[in-house]
Each structure stands twice: as C-alpha cells, then as structure tokens.
C-alpha cells in the first residue's frame, strides 16, 4: 500500500504529545491516528491519560482514530494495529486530509514506519541489546501484544522471555505475512524534554490523576469482572492499583512503586525512539520547553521545507 504523506508526533509519556498534535492537525487539515496500546480500550480513561477533551480544546473538534475501539479484556496486538492504522491512514488520505500518527508506543509506530521486525537486513544483535534493558514484565507484555502465550514459569525465566520475543519478531513466517506500507513523504517529530522535567511532570500528573478518581476507575473495572490478570498485563497504573485494591500493597507503597515504574517506562520510551533513529527513521526533535505556538511553527516550517 502506498500513501503520499504521513506525519508522526512521538515522545515519552507526559511530554504534551496530544495537545501539540491537535494544534498541528488544525493547522494542516489533519486527522489523528492514536498509537497508544492502552487507549484502544473503552473505560481506561484516567489511567491511560486519554484526555479526550484535548481534541476539542481551543477550536473545532479534531477527528481521532483507534481510541475506545475495544472492550476491556479484549486482545489487541501490533499486527492488528498496523492493519487498522494502515486502513485508516489510507481512508484519511482519500478524503484529501493529512494522516497524523500520535503516540508513545514505539512498537506500534515502528511497525508503520520501518517494518523493522520483519526485514532480513535487521540485525538481531540490536534487538538483543534492547531486550537486555527491558524488565521481565515489559518483555512479557511485548510477547503478548505479538500474540504469544506465556505460562507462569515463562514469566520468571528472563532468557526464555527474550528468546520467545526474538522468535516472534524474526520468524520467516511472520516476514511473509507482514504487509509493507510505502510512504512517499514522511515527517517524524519527537518532543524532547530534559529528564528532570519529565520526572516532575510524571509525579505531578500522577497525583492529579489519583485525585481525579484513578483508583475508582480501576475498582470499577474489577467490579465489572475485568480479570486481574488482564489488568496486570496492562502494567503501570492498572497493575499497581489493582494490587492495592486487593490489599497486597498499601496506598503509599502503591504510589511510590507506581511513580518509579512510570519514570522507568518514560526512560525506556526515550531509548526506543533514539534507537529508531539508528534504524533509519529521521526524527526532528522539538524542544518541549518552548510554547505550544513555537512548537507548532517549527513543525510547520520543517514540513514546508521538505515539500
């Protein structure tokens, strides 16, 4: 499948991706395609930072896609995302509008831009170096979004987890089933912020979300018979809050562990995006400390100069 133009805005959690994407979308007659592995689920609002009001703030509602498309407990993986996103991108372009992918799930974004996991030229040594920086829970989550099945014993065996993920990513069978997305004109922008600012934003946002009912959101999911195993697989907020609700950890333990986990998650996101550059994706980095208008103008200038 070939499309004429695609824009991507990426960055770690708490860097203001959505607000920037919405304003750029208004200025460039674009529609947003979410690349977030958890925002696809209905009812996971506060914990995933869905903030749907942002799509209508400051002007006319900006259309968005791949948010609230599944019920909690359903499965979704990278292959489904690529198929769904590719179809939506083609449909957006057919209406004369610009597809704008926005999100922080590096695996999803990479599946569109590089077809990295299924190219013979990809060095598996790069994958192994990356996998060594992931903890067991992240490795397990990657395996699950790729359709792999894990036993309790598998989850504890780091070597086995890395090997299982490697097989899923590099098997010849998957290479043959993967559809390529041809992009004539690609603009990728990343939001860059000093780590101490990201850490402060994460901590402030966590307090705000807890004050706004994040614990109650998770309790509602459990009351609705969403399995604890599924919530644990989502990680971060849903894992730690569900543990607290089951009285396995205290509220202070939950807060401190969750805060640390989100900080680590943001660091891994940054590492993933920097490695995307080494794999051939040109990312134009935007200083996240600039005003929204300054960031928008910088994106518009780069996009215009590459026409």
DSSP three-state, residue 141 = helix
Same domain, 128 and 74: no
Report pLDDT digits (tens) over 237-291. Answer: 999 999 999 999 999 999 999 999 999 999 999 999 998 898 889 999 999 999 9
Same domain, 41 and 140: no
Same domain, 260 and 219: yes
Supply the mean pLDDT for the chain. 88
Same domain, 93 and 10: yes
Cβ–Cβ contacts within 10 Å for residue 23, how many?
Answer: 20
Same domain, 82 and 166: no
Domain boundary among 177, 193, 222: 177
Alpha-carbon gap, residue 129 to 114, rounded angstroms: 19
Using alpha carbons, list the distances in angstroms from residue 8 to 4, 24, 185, 194, 206: 14, 11, 11, 21, 26
Using alpha carbons, list the distances in angstroms from residue 110 to 35, 104, 106, 174, 264: 10, 11, 6, 16, 20
Q: How many domains does the chain have?
A: 2
Kindly report the CATH number assigned to the domain that includes residue 60.
3.40.50.300
127 is in which domain, residue-wise? 123-177
Closest CA to 275 of 120, 142, 137, 107: 107
Report pLDDT digits (tens) over 163-202. Answer: 888 777 766 544 444 456 788 999 999 999 999 999 999 9
The distance of Cα 104 from the centroid of its chain, to the nearest Å, equals 3
Same domain, 36 and 163: no
Same domain, 153 and 222: no
Same domain, 227 and 96: yes
Cβ–Cβ contacts within 10 Å for residue 76, how many?
Answer: 18
Scan for tokens 């998650």, then name that residue. 265
Same domain, 141 and 103: no
Same domain, 110 and 137: no
Closest CA to 47 of 249, 241, 204: 241
Q: What is the pLDDT, as a whole number, of residue 153? A: 87
Q: What is the pLDDT, as a whole number, of residue 121? A: 34
Complete DSSP assignment for 229-290: HHHHHH-HHHHHHHHHHTTSS-HHHHHHHHHHHHHHHHHHHHHHHHHHHHTT---EEEETTS
Domain boundary among 177, 200, 219: 177
pLDDT of 119 higher than 50:
no
Same domain, 98 and 235: yes
Closest CA to 185 of 303, 17, 28, 25: 303
Mean per-residue pLDDT for 2-26?
A: 95
Cβ–Cβ contacts within 10 Å for residue 37, how many?
Answer: 23
Same domain, 169 and 269: no
Complete DSSP assignment for 153-217: HHHH-HHHHHHHHHHHHH-HHHHHHPPP-EEEEEEEEEEE--HHHHHHHHHHHHHHHHHTTHHHH
Q: What is the pLDDT, as a whole number, of residue 123? A: 47
Report whether 99 contacts 3 (CB < 8 A).
yes
Do you know the residue count of the chain? 307
Higher pLDDT, 147 or 126: 147
Report pLDDT digits (tens) over 199-243. Answer: 999 999 999 999 999 999 999 999 999 999 999 988 899 999 999
pLDDT of 142 higher than 80:
no
């Amino acid at each position: 499948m070939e499309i004429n133009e695609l824009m991507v805005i990426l960055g770690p959690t708490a860097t203001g991706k959505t607000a920037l994407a919405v304003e750029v979308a208004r200025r460039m007659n674009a529609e947003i395609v979410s690349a977030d592995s958890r925002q696809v689920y209905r009812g996971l609002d506060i914990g995933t930072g869905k903030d749907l009001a942002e799509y209508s703030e400051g002007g006319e509602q900006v259309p968005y896609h791949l948010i609230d498309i599944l019920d909690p407990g359903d499965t979704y993986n990278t292959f489904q995302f690529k198929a769904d996103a590719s179809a939506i991108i083609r449909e957006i372009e057919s209406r004369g509008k610009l597809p704008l992918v926005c999100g922080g799930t590096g695996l999803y974004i990479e599946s569109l831009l590089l077809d990295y996991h299924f190219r013979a030229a990809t060095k598996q040594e790069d994958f192994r170096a990356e996998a060594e920086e992931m903890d067991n829970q992240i490795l397990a989550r990657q395996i699950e979004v790729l359709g792999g099945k894990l036993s309790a014993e598998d989850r504890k065996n780091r070597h086995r987890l890395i090997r299982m993920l490697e097989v899923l990513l590099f098997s010849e069978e998957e290479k043959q089933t993967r559809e390529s997305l041809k992009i004539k004109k690609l603009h990728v922008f990343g939001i860059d912020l000093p780590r101490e600012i990201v850490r402060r934003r994460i901590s402030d946002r966590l307090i705000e979300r807890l004050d706004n009912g994040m614990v109650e959101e998770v309790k509602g999911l459990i009351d609705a018979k969403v399995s604890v195993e599924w919530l644990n697989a989502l990680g971060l907020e849903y894992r730690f809050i569900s543990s607290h609700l089951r009285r396995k950890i205290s509220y202070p333990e939950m807060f401190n562990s969750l805060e640390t986990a989100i900080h680590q998650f943001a660091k891994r996101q940054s590492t993933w995006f920097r490695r995307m550059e080494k794999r051939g994706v040109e990312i134009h980095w935007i200083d996240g400390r600039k005003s929204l208008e300054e960031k928008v103008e910088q994106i518009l200038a780069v996009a215009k100069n590459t026409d």
